[in-house]
Amino acid sequence: MNIPFCLQSELKFCNKNTFDINDVFVIGRVQPESVRKILPLNGQARRQAMFLVKRLSGFEDRLPIIFSEEIYKANLRPNLDKELVLFGSYRTEIHEQHAEDEGCLFQYIALEHIDPNPGNYDQTHNNSVHVRGTICKPPLPRALPASNIYYFCMAVDTPEHEDYIPCVCKNEYSEYIREMIPGDRIEVLGRMASRVYQDESGQNIETREFRVNKIENIEYK
Average pLDDT of the chain is 83
Give the model's pLDDT for residue 137.
Answer: 87
* CATH class (in words) of the domain with range 127-219: mainly beta
Give the model's pLDDT for residue 115.
Answer: 94
For residue range 55-92, list pLDDT tens digits in order.
988 899 999 999 999 999 999 999 999 999 999 999 99
Percentage of residues in the chain with pLDDT exceeding 90? 49
Instruction: Give the CATH architecture of domain 21-123.
Output: Beta Barrel (2.40)
For residue range 122-175, list pLDDT tens digits in order.
888 899 999 999 999 889 988 666 668 899 999 998 777 788 999 999 878 888
Whether residue 2 is predicted with pLDDT greater than 70 in this model: the reply is no
HSE-up of residue 209 (Cα within 13 Å, Cβ side)? 18
Buried b (16+ CB within 10 A) or exposed e, 4-29: ebbeeeebbeeeeeeebbbbbbbbbb
Give the pTM: 0.84
Q: Where in the chain is the domain with CATH 2.40.50.140?
A: 21-123, 127-219
